[in-house]
Protein backbone atom coordinates (compact mmCIF):
# COMPACT_ATOMS: atom_id res chain seq x y z
CA UNK A 1 0.00 0.00 0.00
CA UNK A 2 1.29 3.46 -0.93
CA UNK A 3 2.00 5.92 1.87
CA UNK A 4 2.14 9.66 1.22
CA UNK A 5 4.02 12.02 3.53
CA UNK A 6 2.77 15.57 4.12
CA UNK A 7 5.16 18.11 5.66
CA UNK A 8 3.61 21.33 6.94
CA UNK A 9 6.21 24.01 7.77
CA UNK A 10 5.74 27.28 9.68
CA UNK A 11 8.38 29.47 11.36
CA UNK A 12 7.39 28.12 14.77
CA UNK A 13 6.57 24.47 14.05
CA UNK A 14 7.04 21.61 11.59
CA UNK A 15 4.37 18.91 11.38
CA UNK A 16 4.52 15.64 9.47
CA UNK A 17 1.60 13.34 8.66
CA UNK A 18 1.92 9.88 7.11
CA UNK A 19 -1.23 9.15 5.12
CA UNK A 20 -2.30 5.73 3.84
CA UNK A 21 -5.50 5.25 1.81
CA UNK A 22 -6.69 8.71 2.85
CA UNK A 23 -6.32 8.00 6.59
CA UNK A 24 -3.66 9.55 8.81
CA UNK A 25 -1.47 6.81 10.33
CA UNK A 26 1.28 8.78 12.08
CA UNK A 27 1.85 12.32 13.28
CA UNK A 28 5.19 13.93 14.15
CA UNK A 29 5.70 17.46 15.43
CA UNK A 30 8.72 19.57 16.18
CA UNK A 31 8.47 23.07 17.60
CA UNK A 32 11.40 25.37 16.99
CA UNK A 33 11.75 26.19 20.71
CA UNK A 34 11.01 22.64 21.90
CA UNK A 35 13.12 20.37 19.70
CA UNK A 36 13.57 16.87 21.07
CA UNK A 37 16.95 15.74 22.41
CA UNK A 38 16.95 12.03 21.49
CA UNK A 39 20.10 11.20 19.51
CA UNK A 40 21.96 14.35 20.60
CA UNK A 41 25.47 13.95 22.00
CA UNK A 42 26.63 16.01 24.98
CA UNK A 43 29.78 16.48 26.99
CA UNK A 44 28.21 16.22 30.44
CA UNK A 45 29.37 16.52 34.03
CA UNK A 46 28.49 13.94 36.69
CA UNK A 47 26.82 15.84 39.55
CA UNK A 48 25.74 12.96 41.78
CA UNK A 49 26.32 9.20 41.99
CA UNK A 50 23.65 7.09 43.72
CA UNK A 51 25.10 3.64 44.61
CA UNK A 52 21.79 2.53 46.17
CA UNK A 53 19.99 3.03 42.84
CA UNK A 54 23.05 2.16 40.70
CA UNK A 55 22.43 5.41 38.85
CA UNK A 56 23.91 8.86 38.45
CA UNK A 57 22.69 12.35 37.58
CA UNK A 58 24.55 14.17 34.82
CA UNK A 59 24.36 17.87 33.97
CA UNK A 60 24.11 18.23 30.17
CA UNK A 61 22.85 21.81 30.15
CA UNK A 62 19.08 21.10 30.19
CA UNK A 63 16.59 22.41 32.76
CA UNK A 64 16.76 19.17 34.76
CA UNK A 65 19.77 16.93 35.38
CA UNK A 66 19.71 13.87 33.14
CA UNK A 67 19.77 10.30 34.43
CA UNK A 68 22.04 7.35 33.58
CA UNK A 69 21.68 3.79 34.88
CA UNK A 70 24.56 1.37 35.36
CA UNK A 71 23.16 -0.83 32.55
CA UNK A 72 23.57 2.06 30.07
CA UNK A 73 27.30 2.44 30.64
CA UNK A 74 29.19 0.92 27.72
CA UNK A 75 31.69 -0.83 30.02
CA UNK A 76 28.86 -2.92 31.46
CA UNK A 77 27.30 -3.61 28.10
CA UNK A 78 30.61 -5.09 27.00
CA UNK A 79 30.91 -7.13 30.19
CA UNK A 80 27.37 -8.47 29.91
CA UNK A 81 28.03 -9.64 26.33
CA UNK A 82 30.98 -11.70 27.60
CA UNK A 83 29.10 -13.00 30.65
CA UNK A 84 31.22 -11.07 33.16
CA UNK A 85 29.79 -9.55 36.34
CA UNK A 86 28.45 -5.99 36.16
CA UNK A 87 30.80 -3.38 37.66
CA UNK A 88 29.05 -1.13 40.25
CA UNK A 89 28.44 2.41 39.08
CA UNK A 90 30.46 3.94 41.94
CA UNK A 91 33.57 2.25 40.51
CA UNK A 92 33.00 3.72 37.05
CA UNK A 93 31.76 7.25 37.75
CA UNK A 94 32.62 9.97 40.25
CA UNK A 95 31.25 13.45 40.93
CA UNK A 96 32.78 16.14 38.71
CA UNK A 97 33.75 13.64 35.99
CA UNK A 98 33.38 14.72 32.35
CA UNK A 99 31.40 12.21 30.31
CA UNK A 100 30.37 11.95 26.66
CA UNK A 101 26.73 10.82 26.67
CA UNK A 102 23.84 10.40 24.27
CA UNK A 103 20.17 11.06 25.04
CA UNK A 104 18.11 7.89 24.52
CA UNK A 105 14.86 9.21 26.02
CA UNK A 106 13.57 12.77 26.13
CA UNK A 107 12.51 14.29 29.47
CA UNK A 108 9.01 13.01 30.30
CA UNK A 109 6.87 14.72 32.91
CA UNK A 110 9.01 15.30 35.99
CA UNK A 111 11.73 12.90 34.81
CA UNK A 112 14.95 14.14 33.27
CA UNK A 113 16.37 12.79 30.03
CA UNK A 114 17.79 9.26 30.07
CA UNK A 115 21.37 8.86 28.89
CA UNK A 116 23.74 6.20 27.61
CA UNK A 117 27.49 6.12 26.98
CA UNK A 118 26.98 3.45 24.31
CA UNK A 119 27.05 5.97 21.46
CA UNK A 120 25.19 5.32 18.20
CA UNK A 121 24.97 7.65 15.19
CA UNK A 122 22.31 6.93 12.59
CA UNK A 123 22.80 7.29 8.87
CA UNK A 124 20.49 6.38 6.01
CA UNK A 125 21.61 2.75 5.65
CA UNK A 126 23.69 2.16 8.77
CA UNK A 127 23.85 3.00 12.45
CA UNK A 128 27.46 3.48 13.56
CA UNK A 129 28.55 2.11 16.98
CA UNK A 130 32.02 3.59 17.65
CA UNK A 131 32.56 1.62 20.87
CA UNK A 132 31.03 -1.72 19.84
CA UNK A 133 32.62 -4.00 17.18
CA UNK A 134 29.35 -5.90 16.70
CA UNK A 135 27.63 -5.93 13.27
CA UNK A 136 23.87 -6.46 13.59
CA UNK A 137 21.09 -6.64 11.01
CA UNK A 138 17.60 -5.11 11.34
CA UNK A 139 15.05 -7.71 12.44
CA UNK A 140 12.72 -6.49 9.70
CA UNK A 141 15.06 -7.99 7.08
CA UNK A 142 13.67 -11.51 7.39
CA UNK A 143 15.55 -13.40 4.65
CA UNK A 144 18.49 -15.23 6.22
CA UNK A 145 20.38 -15.12 2.90
CA UNK A 146 19.99 -11.35 2.69
CA UNK A 147 21.09 -10.96 6.31
CA UNK A 148 24.27 -12.98 5.79
CA UNK A 149 25.07 -11.16 2.53
CA UNK A 150 24.60 -7.72 4.11
CA UNK A 151 26.81 -8.62 7.09
CA UNK A 152 29.61 -9.81 4.77
CA UNK A 153 29.39 -6.65 2.63
CA UNK A 154 29.61 -4.38 5.67
CA UNK A 155 32.56 -6.33 7.08
CA UNK A 156 34.40 -5.97 3.76
CA UNK A 157 34.43 -2.16 3.64
CA UNK A 158 34.83 -1.67 7.41
CA UNK A 159 38.59 -2.21 7.09
CA UNK A 160 40.54 -1.35 10.25
CA UNK A 161 37.61 0.55 11.78
CA UNK A 162 37.09 -0.92 15.28
CA UNK A 163 33.54 0.35 15.49
CA UNK A 164 30.44 -1.70 14.73
CA UNK A 165 27.26 -1.22 12.74
CA UNK A 166 23.58 -1.96 12.76
CA UNK A 167 22.36 -2.44 9.20
CA UNK A 168 19.01 -0.68 8.83
CA UNK A 169 15.99 -1.90 6.86
CA UNK A 170 16.68 0.74 4.18
CA UNK A 171 19.96 -1.08 3.35
CA UNK A 172 18.03 -3.98 1.82
CA UNK A 173 18.78 -3.73 -1.89
CA UNK A 174 21.39 -0.95 -1.44
CA UNK A 175 24.48 -0.90 -3.67
CA UNK A 176 28.04 -1.20 -2.35
CA UNK A 177 28.61 2.47 -3.27
CA UNK A 178 25.62 3.57 -1.15
CA UNK A 179 26.78 1.54 1.86
CA UNK A 180 30.34 2.82 1.48
CA UNK A 181 29.15 6.44 1.22
CA UNK A 182 27.06 6.05 4.39
CA UNK A 183 30.04 4.53 6.22
CA UNK A 184 32.35 7.37 5.13
CA UNK A 185 29.82 10.02 6.22
CA UNK A 186 29.38 8.43 9.67
CA UNK A 187 33.12 8.01 10.24
CA UNK A 188 33.80 11.64 9.27
CA UNK A 189 31.01 12.81 11.56
CA UNK A 190 32.34 10.76 14.49
CA UNK A 191 35.87 12.13 14.02
CA UNK A 192 34.56 15.70 14.11
CA UNK A 193 32.58 14.96 17.29
CA UNK A 194 35.69 13.58 18.98
CA UNK A 195 37.72 16.66 18.02
CA UNK A 196 34.98 18.93 19.36
CA UNK A 197 34.89 17.02 22.68
CA UNK A 198 38.57 17.83 23.28
CA UNK A 199 38.06 21.60 23.21
CA UNK A 200 34.53 22.14 24.62
CA UNK A 201 33.71 22.95 28.27
CA UNK A 202 31.16 20.95 30.29
CA UNK A 203 28.27 20.91 29.77
CA UNK A 204 28.10 21.46 26.01
CA UNK A 205 26.40 20.05 22.90
CA UNK A 206 28.66 17.97 20.66
CA UNK A 207 26.15 16.85 18.05
CA UNK A 208 22.51 17.67 17.34
CA UNK A 209 20.31 15.20 15.51
CA UNK A 210 18.79 16.09 12.14
CA UNK A 211 15.73 18.29 11.71
CA UNK A 212 12.34 16.59 11.56
CA UNK A 213 12.17 16.90 7.77
CA UNK A 214 15.61 15.31 7.36
CA UNK A 215 14.73 12.51 9.80
CA UNK A 216 11.63 11.80 7.74
CA UNK A 217 13.78 11.25 4.64
CA UNK A 218 16.22 9.14 6.63
CA UNK A 219 13.82 7.02 8.68
CA UNK A 220 10.30 7.05 7.25
CA UNK A 221 10.75 6.89 3.49
CA UNK A 222 10.65 3.34 2.14
CA UNK A 223 9.60 1.28 -0.88
CA UNK A 224 5.92 1.98 -0.16
CA UNK A 225 6.37 5.75 0.04
CA UNK A 226 4.58 7.65 -2.71
CA UNK A 227 4.81 11.45 -2.77
CA UNK A 228 6.50 13.65 -0.17
CA UNK A 229 4.64 16.97 -0.26
CA UNK A 230 6.16 20.04 1.44
CA UNK A 231 4.26 23.33 1.68
CA UNK A 232 7.37 25.49 2.13
CA UNK A 233 9.48 26.32 -0.91
CA UNK A 234 12.67 26.94 1.12
CA UNK A 235 12.25 23.71 3.13
CA UNK A 236 11.61 21.79 -0.10
CA UNK A 237 14.89 23.12 -1.48
CA UNK A 238 16.75 22.23 1.75
CA UNK A 239 15.39 18.67 1.70
CA UNK A 240 16.29 18.28 -1.98
CA UNK A 241 19.85 19.41 -1.23
CA UNK A 242 20.10 17.03 1.74
CA UNK A 243 18.58 14.15 -0.23
CA UNK A 244 20.98 14.77 -3.12
CA UNK A 245 23.85 13.86 -0.80
CA UNK A 246 22.37 11.22 1.49
CA UNK A 247 19.18 9.78 -0.07
CA UNK A 248 19.31 10.36 -3.85
CA UNK A 249 16.75 7.60 -4.44
CA UNK A 250 13.94 9.78 -2.98
CA UNK A 251 14.72 12.96 -4.94
CA UNK A 252 11.95 12.43 -7.49
CA UNK A 253 9.36 11.97 -4.73
CA UNK A 254 9.95 15.31 -2.96
CA UNK A 255 7.47 17.87 -4.32
CA UNK A 256 6.58 21.42 -3.36
CA UNK A 257 2.85 21.84 -2.61
CA UNK A 258 1.48 25.13 -3.91
CA UNK A 259 -2.26 24.52 -3.73
CA UNK A 260 -4.66 27.13 -2.36
CA UNK A 261 -6.01 24.85 0.39
CA UNK A 262 -3.69 24.33 3.38
CA UNK A 263 -1.76 21.09 2.89
CA UNK A 264 -3.11 19.41 6.03
CA UNK A 265 -6.69 20.26 5.02
CA UNK A 266 -6.36 18.03 1.96
CA UNK A 267 -6.22 14.97 4.24
CA UNK A 268 -8.27 16.37 7.17
CA UNK A 269 -5.20 16.07 9.39
CA UNK A 270 -6.26 18.75 11.89
CA UNK A 271 -9.60 16.99 12.40
CA UNK A 272 -7.71 13.74 12.97
CA UNK A 273 -5.50 15.44 15.58
CA UNK A 274 -8.59 16.68 17.43
CA UNK A 275 -10.05 13.14 17.44
CA UNK A 276 -6.72 11.71 18.62
CA UNK A 277 -6.91 13.87 21.75
CA UNK A 278 -10.28 12.38 22.73
CA UNK A 279 -10.73 9.41 25.06
CA UNK A 280 -13.30 7.83 22.77
CA UNK A 281 -12.61 6.35 19.33
CA UNK A 282 -15.73 5.40 17.36
CA UNK A 283 -15.63 2.30 15.14
CA UNK A 284 -17.50 2.09 11.85
CA UNK A 285 -19.67 -0.76 13.14
CA UNK A 286 -21.03 1.32 16.04
CA UNK A 287 -18.63 0.00 18.67
CA UNK A 288 -16.00 2.20 20.28
CA UNK A 289 -12.71 2.27 22.18
CA UNK A 290 -11.98 4.16 25.40
CA UNK A 291 -8.28 5.07 25.72
CA UNK A 292 -6.94 6.28 29.08
CA UNK A 293 -3.32 7.32 29.45
CA UNK A 294 -1.88 7.35 32.98
CA UNK A 295 1.59 7.79 34.47
CA UNK A 296 2.14 4.02 34.78
CA UNK A 297 0.38 2.59 31.72
CA UNK A 298 -2.23 3.07 29.01
CA UNK A 299 -5.51 1.14 29.02
CA UNK A 300 -7.76 0.48 26.02
CA UNK A 301 -11.31 -0.73 26.64
CA UNK A 302 -13.37 -2.17 23.76
CA UNK A 303 -17.18 -1.81 23.78
CA UNK A 304 -19.85 -2.98 21.34
CA UNK A 305 -21.79 0.27 21.65
CA UNK A 306 -24.65 0.31 19.14
CA UNK A 307 -23.35 -2.58 17.00
CA UNK A 308 -25.93 -5.40 16.80
CA UNK A 309 -25.15 -6.61 13.29
CA UNK A 310 -23.88 -10.10 14.04
CA UNK A 311 -25.88 -13.29 13.59
CA UNK A 312 -25.65 -13.93 17.30
CA UNK A 313 -24.09 -12.35 20.39
CA UNK A 314 -20.75 -14.17 20.02
CA UNK A 315 -20.51 -13.13 16.38
CA UNK A 316 -21.20 -9.50 17.30
CA UNK A 317 -18.43 -9.54 19.92
CA UNK A 318 -15.97 -11.23 17.55
CA UNK A 319 -16.53 -8.72 14.74
CA UNK A 320 -16.24 -5.78 17.15
CA UNK A 321 -12.96 -7.11 18.54
CA UNK A 322 -11.54 -7.68 15.05
CA UNK A 323 -12.35 -4.11 14.04
CA UNK A 324 -11.01 -2.82 17.36
CA UNK A 325 -7.67 -4.63 16.86
CA UNK A 326 -7.05 -2.75 13.60
CA UNK A 327 -8.25 0.57 15.01
CA UNK A 328 -6.19 0.45 18.17
CA UNK A 329 -2.99 -0.45 16.25
CA UNK A 330 -3.53 2.74 14.27
CA UNK A 331 -4.27 4.76 17.41
CA UNK A 332 -1.01 3.63 19.05
CA UNK A 333 0.93 5.05 16.09
CA UNK A 334 -1.23 8.15 15.73
CA UNK A 335 -1.09 9.07 19.44
CA UNK A 336 2.48 7.74 19.87
CA UNK A 337 1.50 5.81 22.98
CA UNK A 338 4.38 3.97 24.65
CA UNK A 339 5.28 1.97 27.73
CA UNK A 340 2.92 -0.68 29.13
CA UNK A 341 -0.40 -0.95 27.29
CA UNK A 342 -3.32 -3.09 28.53
CA UNK A 343 -5.96 -4.07 25.96
CA UNK A 344 -9.36 -5.08 27.35
CA UNK A 345 -11.16 -6.75 24.47
CA UNK A 346 -14.76 -7.87 24.96
CA UNK A 347 -14.72 -11.34 26.57
CA UNK A 348 -14.73 -14.20 24.03
CA UNK A 349 -15.43 -17.81 25.04
CA UNK A 350 -14.26 -19.27 21.72
CA UNK A 351 -10.47 -19.92 21.70
CA UNK A 352 -10.46 -19.72 17.90
CA UNK A 353 -11.97 -16.24 18.07
CA UNK A 354 -9.31 -15.13 20.56
CA UNK A 355 -6.51 -16.46 18.31
CA UNK A 356 -8.02 -14.69 15.27
CA UNK A 357 -8.17 -11.37 17.14
CA UNK A 358 -4.53 -11.75 18.25
CA UNK A 359 -3.48 -12.57 14.68
CA UNK A 360 -5.32 -9.52 13.37
CA UNK A 361 -3.73 -7.35 16.06
CA UNK A 362 -0.20 -8.55 15.25
CA UNK A 363 -0.82 -8.06 11.54
CA UNK A 364 -1.96 -4.46 12.12
CA UNK A 365 0.97 -3.77 14.46
CA UNK A 366 3.50 -5.05 11.91
CA UNK A 367 3.23 -1.70 10.05
CA UNK A 368 4.60 0.11 13.10
CA UNK A 369 8.34 0.91 13.00
CA UNK A 370 8.51 1.16 16.81
CA UNK A 371 9.69 -1.94 18.69
CA UNK A 372 6.98 -3.70 20.70
CA UNK A 373 6.07 -6.98 22.38
CA UNK A 374 2.61 -8.54 22.57
CA UNK A 375 1.53 -11.32 24.94
CA UNK A 376 -1.49 -13.56 24.55
CA UNK A 377 -4.72 -13.30 26.53
CA UNK A 378 -4.14 -13.46 30.29
CA UNK A 379 -6.34 -15.34 32.76
CA UNK A 380 -8.31 -12.13 33.21
CA UNK A 381 -8.91 -11.89 29.45
CA UNK A 382 -6.53 -8.96 28.98
CA UNK A 383 -3.82 -8.57 26.35
CA UNK A 384 -0.63 -7.01 27.68
CA UNK A 385 1.83 -5.32 25.36
CA UNK A 386 4.71 -2.85 25.44
CA UNK A 387 5.68 -0.22 22.89
CA UNK A 388 9.02 1.53 23.08
CA UNK A 389 8.69 5.11 24.29
CA UNK A 390 11.36 7.59 23.19
CA UNK A 391 9.34 10.84 23.03
CA UNK A 392 6.19 12.37 24.44
CA UNK A 393 2.80 11.13 23.30
CA UNK A 394 0.63 13.41 21.15
CA UNK A 395 -1.50 14.35 24.18
CA UNK A 396 1.56 15.28 26.25
CA UNK A 397 2.90 17.39 23.37
CA UNK A 398 -0.33 19.32 22.77
CA UNK A 399 -2.09 19.36 26.14
CA UNK A 400 -1.43 20.18 29.78
CA UNK A 401 -3.09 19.07 33.06
CA UNK A 402 -6.47 20.67 33.70
CA UNK A 403 -6.07 23.42 36.34
CA UNK A 404 -9.60 22.78 37.61
CA UNK A 405 -9.56 19.02 38.17
CA UNK A 406 -5.75 18.71 38.49
CA UNK A 407 -5.79 16.07 35.73
CA UNK A 408 -8.15 13.80 37.72
CA UNK A 409 -10.64 13.86 34.89
CA UNK A 410 -13.54 14.96 37.10
CA UNK A 411 -14.57 17.74 39.50
CA UNK A 412 -16.59 17.72 42.69
CA UNK A 413 -20.31 18.39 42.25
CA UNK A 414 -21.83 21.76 43.26
CA UNK A 415 -23.72 20.04 46.10
CA UNK A 416 -20.50 18.49 47.46
CA UNK A 417 -18.87 21.92 47.42
CA UNK A 418 -21.89 23.58 49.07
CA UNK A 419 -21.67 21.20 52.03
CA UNK A 420 -17.89 21.73 52.21
CA UNK A 421 -18.47 25.51 52.39
CA UNK A 422 -21.10 25.11 55.13
CA UNK A 423 -18.69 23.00 57.21
CA UNK A 424 -15.90 25.55 56.68
CA UNK A 425 -18.14 28.44 57.89
CA UNK A 426 -19.10 26.42 60.96
CA UNK A 427 -15.41 25.84 61.78
CA UNK A 428 -14.49 29.50 61.33
CA UNK A 429 -17.44 30.73 63.43
CA UNK A 430 -15.90 28.92 66.42
CA UNK A 431 -12.55 30.70 65.99
CA UNK A 432 -13.58 34.19 64.85
CA UNK A 433 -16.36 36.66 65.58
CA UNK A 434 -17.00 38.67 62.39
CA UNK A 435 -20.14 40.67 61.67
CA UNK A 436 -20.85 38.65 58.54
CA UNK A 437 -19.61 35.69 56.45
CA UNK A 438 -19.53 36.25 52.69
CA UNK A 439 -19.23 33.33 50.24
CA UNK A 440 -17.42 34.08 46.95
CA UNK A 441 -18.05 31.25 44.49
CA UNK A 442 -18.96 30.34 40.91
CA UNK A 443 -22.44 30.85 39.51
CA UNK A 444 -23.35 27.16 39.90
CA UNK A 445 -22.57 27.17 43.64
CA UNK A 446 -24.41 30.42 44.31
CA UNK A 447 -27.46 29.24 42.34
CA UNK A 448 -27.63 26.02 44.39
CA UNK A 449 -27.42 27.99 47.67
CA UNK A 450 -30.24 30.26 46.49
CA UNK A 451 -32.47 27.38 45.45
CA UNK A 452 -32.23 23.79 46.71
CA UNK A 453 -29.74 24.48 49.53
CA UNK A 454 -31.30 27.75 50.72
CA UNK A 455 -32.88 26.07 53.78
CA UNK A 456 -29.56 24.61 54.92
CA UNK A 457 -27.84 27.99 54.46
CA UNK A 458 -30.56 29.71 56.53
CA UNK A 459 -30.28 27.05 59.26
CA UNK A 460 -26.51 27.61 59.47
CA UNK A 461 -26.98 31.38 59.75
CA UNK A 462 -29.45 30.93 62.58
CA UNK A 463 -27.17 28.43 64.34
CA UNK A 464 -24.04 30.63 64.33
CA UNK A 465 -26.03 33.86 64.82
CA UNK A 466 -24.36 35.64 61.90
CA UNK A 467 -25.64 36.60 58.45
CA UNK A 468 -24.21 34.68 55.48
CA UNK A 469 -24.21 36.50 52.10
CA UNK A 470 -23.44 35.27 48.59
CA UNK A 471 -21.42 36.83 45.77
CA UNK A 472 -20.74 35.41 42.31
CA UNK A 473 -17.14 35.43 41.05
CA UNK A 474 -17.38 34.85 37.30
CA UNK A 475 -13.66 34.03 37.00
CA UNK A 476 -13.83 31.18 39.51
CA UNK A 477 -13.96 27.57 38.35
CA UNK A 478 -16.53 25.26 39.94
CA UNK A 479 -14.13 24.06 42.66
CA UNK A 480 -12.86 27.54 43.59
CA UNK A 481 -14.41 29.48 46.44
CA UNK A 482 -13.46 31.89 49.23
CA UNK A 483 -15.08 32.71 52.57
CA UNK A 484 -14.58 36.36 53.52
CA UNK A 485 -14.97 37.50 57.15
CA UNK A 486 -16.45 41.01 57.30
Over residues 156-214, the pLDDT tens digits come to 877 777 888 898 887 877 788 878 888 888 888 898 899 999 989 989 999 988 889 99
Q: Of 207, 229, 253, which residue constitutes the final position of a domain?
A: 207
Could you report the per-residue pLDDT of 387-415, keeping only the tens digit for each? 987 678 898 888 888 887 877 778 899 99
Could you report the per-residue pLDDT of 134-160, keeping only the tens digit for each? 888 888 787 888 888 888 888 887 777
> Are 426 and 458 in contact, with CB atoms under 8 Å apart?
no
End-to-end CA separation in angstroms for the chain: 72
Are 363 and 298 members of one domain? yes
Are 24 and 97 members of one domain? no
Give the total number of structural domains in the chain. Answer: 4
Q: Of 184, 207, 230, which residue constitutes the final position of a domain?
A: 207
What CATH number is attached to the domain comprising 452?
3.40.1260.20
Task: Say if 403 falls within a structural domain.
Answer: no
| Sign of the dihedral through C-alpha 385, 390, 394, 397 | positive
Mean pLDDT confidence for 257-278: 92
Helix or strand or coil: residue 293? strand
Band the pLDDT of 83: cuts 50, 70, 90.
low
Are 93 and 163 members of one domain? yes
Are 54 and 166 members of one domain? yes
Task: Say if 406 falls within a structural domain.
Answer: no
Are 423 and 461 members of one domain? yes
Task: Say if 350 falls within a structural domain.
Answer: yes
Are 58 and 188 members of one domain? yes
Asked if omega into 203 is within 30° of 0 (cis), the reply is yes
Task: Say if 409 falls within a structural domain.
Answer: no
44 Cβ partners below 8 Å, 6+ apart?
58, 59, 60, 61, 66, 98, 99, 100, 101, 115, 202, 203
Are 254 and 293 members of one domain? no
Domain range spanning residue 458?
414-485
Are 264 and 285 members of one domain? no
Distances (CA, A) of 86 to 73, 262, 475: 10, 55, 58
Q: Structure pTM? A: 0.73
> Are 481 and 419 in contact, with CB atoms under 8 Å apart?
no
Mean pLDDT confidence for 47-73: 92
Spell out the alpha helix ranges (H) of 47-94: 74-82
Are 126 and 255 members of one domain? no
Task: Say if 408 falls within a structural domain.
Answer: no
Are 89 and 203 members of one domain? yes
Number of DSSP helices (H) and strands (E) in the chain, helices first: 12, 24
Task: Say if 70 falls within a structural domain.
Answer: yes
Q: Is 92 left (phi over 0), alpha (psi -120 to 50) or beta?
A: alpha
Q: Would you tell me the crossing angle of helices 313-335 and 351-365 to the nearest 10 degrees?
A: 20
Could you tell me where the beta strands, DSSP code E, fall in 126-273?
126-129, 135-137, 164-167, 204-207, 225-230, 254-256
Are 262 and 353 members of one domain? no
**∠ at Cα 74 (73, 76), nearest 5°?**
75
Q: Of 244, 270, 296, which residue constitutes the final position of a domain?
A: 270
Are 104 and 203 members of one domain? yes
Task: Say if 457 falls within a structural domain.
Answer: yes
Task: Say if 263 falls within a structural domain.
Answer: yes
Amino acid sequence: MTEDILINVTPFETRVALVEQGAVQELHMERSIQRGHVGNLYLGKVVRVLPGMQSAFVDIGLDRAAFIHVADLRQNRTERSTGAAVTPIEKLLFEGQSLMVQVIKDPLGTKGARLSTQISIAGRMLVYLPYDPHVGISQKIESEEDRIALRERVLQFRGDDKGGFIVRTQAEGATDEELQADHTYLRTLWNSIQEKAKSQPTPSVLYTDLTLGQRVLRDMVGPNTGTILVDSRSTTQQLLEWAKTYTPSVLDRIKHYSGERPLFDTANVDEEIARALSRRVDLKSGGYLIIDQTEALTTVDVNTGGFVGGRNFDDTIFKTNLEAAVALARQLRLRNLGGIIILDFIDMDDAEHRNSVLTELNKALSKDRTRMTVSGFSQLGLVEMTRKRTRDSLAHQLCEPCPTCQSRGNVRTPRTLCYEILREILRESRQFNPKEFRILASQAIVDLFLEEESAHLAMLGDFIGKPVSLEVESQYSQEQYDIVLI
